[in-house]
Structures are given as structure tokens and as C-alpha cells.
A and B are shown apart, each in its own frame.
Chain A
Amino acid sequence: MNDLLLRLEGVSRHFGGLKAVDDVSFSLTRGEILGLIGPNGAGKTTCFNLISGVYAPTKGDIVLEGVSTAGFPPYRMAALGVGRTFQVVKPFSTLSVLNNVQVALGLKRYGGVLSSLGPWDTKASRKEALEILEEVGIGHLAASPSGQLPLGNQRRLELARALALKPKLLLLDETFSGLRHEEAALLSKLVLGVRARGISVLLIEHNMKVAMGLSDRLVVLDHGRLLAEGKPEEIRSDPRVVEAYLGKGASAHAS
């Protein structure tokens, strides 16, 4: 089990009386693509926010590379190797595409009084940022204002920013939604390329086809609880999953 990267151990997050995430456990190995699926309100994004440090778990623990990270703030999680994208894309709109990626490159230096007084816009950081942009296929847009990119390219910029953190784990929050088929296919290829470099990917996806096609394993959440876990073909035929998505009685028709 040496290649275990992330483990959620009985993690719960309550908001007042609402159990957004309730006693959820699953784990992720190095180089694995794990799909996190479930109906709206199942707690998927809350799970992401717990792993990336936006929320601390009410109960349970989150272990990254053997270190308990429950309650760590987002910037520490980023430093430990968790890169993420957001469901609603929000580039730093007053900065150019290239500068947006450069923001993430300062990761190691932001915390210190002296280290943070160095220049950010260096030749080395431009070069590095441009390489990452080229990797995701928007190198030609480096100088564009980031606020005016079409959705597909904004998603790629988000991916580039997350990759600039040199993550061990990449969290993709509905990165494929709202994209045309060709754009989604290109992005899928990118995700597979990222995994090929040994980066684990945890993705939230509404499009079942994409989720099933990309993921090695799937975790299904429903009403904050873990409903099922397994390979795509097992999940596809799991009556509990079909029921959660389509309602009671549907499983009889589906099978």
C-alpha cells in the first residue's frame, strides 16, 4: 500500500443541522483517476472543499501521504501538493493569461516577509508559465486578458494554474461541463496525460459518459453518504446507483 496518496477516514462536515458530507471514507492511489459522482446536493463539492482545506471536517480525518491534514488551510494544502479547479471558473480577470499561471508559481515564497519581496515577473517564471500553457494548448493566448476567454479556454487556464502548483493530486470540479464534444475530448486527453506523469486525479463529473470513460474507479455519493464504490462497469449496473439517479422503481426498468 505504499502508493496510497489520499485517504478520507469517516469524514463528516455539518452545516448547522445539514449533514453535507456524512461519514465518508475512500482512498486514492498514486496515478489513479477517481471519479466522484452523485446527484445534485450529494456533497461532492463539499468533499473537494474538505480535501483542499476550504473547510475543516466536523468529524473524521483526511490523510495525505501519511500526514493528517484535517483543518489545514487551503494554502498549506496547495503547498502539500493539492491543486484544484473550481466549478465556476474565475480567472484573476485583471491579469493576463500568462500572469494568472505565474500567480501559482510563487507558491513556495508567499509566506515569508523577505522571500515574498522578490520580483514575480521574472524570465524564468514567464518561461515556466508559458510551457504549462503550451502543455494545455493555450500557449498562443498567453498575452490575452484572462477575463475574455471563452469557457473552454478558461477551463484550460484553470487546469494550467493548478498544474503550475506541481500537484501530486489534482481536483477537477466539473471541468467538462458546458463544453462542446471536441473540447471535452481534448480536455480528457490532457487529463490522461497528467495521470501519465504520475499525478492522481479526483474528478467531479455530471456527464456519466465522461466520468465512466476517464475514471479507473468511481465513488458515488448520495445525500452526503457514500453509496457505492467500484470500477465503472460495476457502478453502471449497481441498482442503488441507478435508483439514486433516477428514483425508486427505475432500477427495475434499467436492469
Chain B
Amino acid sequence: MQLFFEQLLNGVAMGAIYSLITLGLALVYGVMRILHVAHAAVYTAGAYVGLYVFTMTGSLLLAVPAAMAACALLGTAIERLIYTPLLKYPPFVPLIGSIAVFLALEEIFRLVGGPYILSFPAEFPFPGITVRGVVISPAIISIYAVSAAVLLLLWFVVTKTELGLAMRATSQDREIAGAMGINSSFTISMTFVLGSAVAAVAGILVGIYFNQVYPTMGAVPAYKCLALIVVGGLGSLPGAVLASLLLGVGETLLIGYANIPLPRDSLAFIAMIAVLLWRPQGLLGNR
């Protein structure tokens, strides 16, 4: 039973990290209707920048904001230089552009950071907790706390602020949003700033949790998180979070704990196929 609870905690932690990456994709899909594959490269960039700043300064409190700022810049650069000019073409064109950016950035990480796995030796300044024999590591506590804070902040921005209202209006109908005085290109850029900064946090958390940062660490999340926004319901933010948490727990418990002989990363795609067959609008989608 102890093992079960530890696995459950790990599963929720993985799910929380998935949701941090997936939310960026869902936000971008909402305002631009683009499948932002390169988002996973932004996440990797966050891990690298975080690691470099951490190595130089020894401070996570500096590393995290630096990585968030760098990723916000990278994300908006991708939007301005690649997506916006390609938006007038059919949707597969920006998608190909996105894949190209993703692969190019992976190569840049390889050139700059080296082709090997770097370790991220950050330690948390507080101890783990043991509850009735279940060990909760400081990394797990941090993932929970940081994810909860980021999710809460995103929820606040999207539902309560005028920027969030502008984002929702732009998602629904860009033309009418414009006629209501909403500067859609500014709104879209701000969406990339938000999504990319959150991806940076995810990159650092993963780097520390697995003590690994490497050029292709975004490869699996790139496609898995696309599957997740489909499972959640394209563009639905609560759906993206729900799908991510379910997947994190599902992967850990079914494949890790119950030993079902499937590759771990296949579960997201099985779920996506099931959703497409039985509930094409996704878990919480409304179209």
C-alpha cells in the first residue's frame, strides 16, 4: 500500500508537469489554431537556461525567472517570425514550420549544450516528509507547490483579467474581437509569453526531478502533449489539465505499478485514439 501511494504521488506530479506544458499548447491552439509542436523545444530551452543560470549563480530563485524570461522571448520570437507570417496558409503549413523550428532548436541545444545528458544538481532547502511510511520527497513537494501556484495564476489571468477576456474573445472570433477594440496580435503575443514562461518552469522541474537535461528531452512531450490537448478537448484549458493529470497517474499506476506490458509513452496515444473514436470533442471540449 505504501508503494501504491508513493506511485500515486509520483503520478500526480508527472501529471502536474504535463499540464504545465500542455496548457501552453492549449492556449496557443485557442488563439491561433496552430499545433505548436515547437513548444516542447521552448520547454527544453527553459531547462537549459535554468541549468546554466543555476550553475553560474547557485540560485534557483534566479534561475527560474531567468528561464521564464528567456522562454517568453523565444516563444514570442517563434510566433512573430514563423507563425504569424504563415497564418495565411492552410493549417499544415504553420504545423510544418513548427516541426522545423522544433528540430532546429534541438540541434542548437546539441551544439551549445553538448550531445550528452547534463545533471541538474539542485537541492531544495527543505526536507522531505514521511507520512505513515509514505516518503514525500522535497522534489515532489516542490512540483506540487509550484504547479499549483502556476495553475492558479494562469486560471486567474485567463478568467479574471481583461487580458484573459481578450484571449477568450480572440479564440472565439478574431474578427469580432478586433471590432471590439481588441488588438489580437498583442493578445496572441501575450499568450505566447504566458505559455512559454510556464513551459520554462516545467522544463526546470523535470530537469531537477529526473536530474537530467539533454537536447532531445522535448521529443516525447512534443507529441504527447499534442495528444493531451486532443484528449482534453482542443483549446479547453480545464480539459488540458484533467487529461494531463489522468495521464500522469495512468502511466505511473498502470504501467509502473500494475506492470501492464505496454511502453509507457504509448498510453497518451491510446487515449487519444479512444477519444477520437468515442468522444471526438474531447473530455471537456464543447465543439
Contact = CB atoms under 8 A, between A and B. Distances in A.
A78 B175 CA distance: 12
A93 B165 contact: no
Interface in B158-193: 160-166, 168-169, 172-173, 175-184, 186-187, 190
Interface string A71-91: 001110011000110100010
A104 B181 CA distance: 7
A54 B175 contact: yes
Contact of A165 (B160, B176, B181, B186): B181
Contacts of A102: 165
Q: Chain A contact residues: over half helix, strand or loop, or mixed?
A: loop
Contacts of B190: 113, 116
Interface string B123-149: 000000000000000000000000000
Interface of A: 52-54, 73-75, 78-79, 83-84, 86, 90, 92-95, 102-104, 106-111, 113, 115-121, 161-162, 165
A110 B162 contact: yes
Nearest to A106: B162
A73 B180 CA distance: 12
Contacts of A111: 183, 186
Given A116-B166, A118-B162, 18 more contacts: A73-B178, A73-B183, A75-B181, A75-B184, A78-B181, A79-B181, A86-B176, A92-B176, A94-B172, A94-B286, A103-B182, A104-B180, A106-B180, A110-B181, A116-B163, A120-B162, A120-B165, A121-B160
16 contacts: A75-B178, A78-B178, A78-B180, A86-B176, A93-B172, A103-B182, A104-B181, A106-B180, A106-B181, A107-B180, A110-B166, A116-B163, A118-B161, A119-B160, A120-B161, A161-B180
A116 B161 contact: yes
A47 B39 CA distance: 40
B157 interface: yes
Contacts of B168: 92, 94-95
B186 A110 contact: yes
B234 to A, nearest CB: 14
B165 A75 contact: no
A75 B168 CA distance: 16
Contact of B161 (A78, A103, A119, A165): A119
A52 B179 contact: yes
Q: Most chain-B Cβ atoms within 10 A of its Cβ — which of A53, A92, A93, A121? A: A92
A176 to B, nearest CB: 19
B173 A75 contact: no
B157 A117 contact: yes
A165 to B, nearest CB: 6
Nearest to A102: B165
Nearest to B161: A117
A108 B166 CA distance: 12
A28 B195 CA distance: 45
Contacts of B187: 110
Nearest to B172: A92
A165 B180 contact: yes
Contacts of A103: 165, 169, 177, 180, 182
Interface string B175-219: 111111111101100100000000000000000000000000000
Contacts of A165: 180-181
B183 A109 contact: no
B160 to A, nearest CB: 5
A245 B164 CA distance: 47
A104 B179 CA distance: 9
A136 to B, nearest CB: 16
Nearest to B169: A103
A121 B168 CA distance: 14
Contacts of A84: 179
B200 to A, nearest CB: 18
A3 B186 CA distance: 34
B166 A106 contact: yes
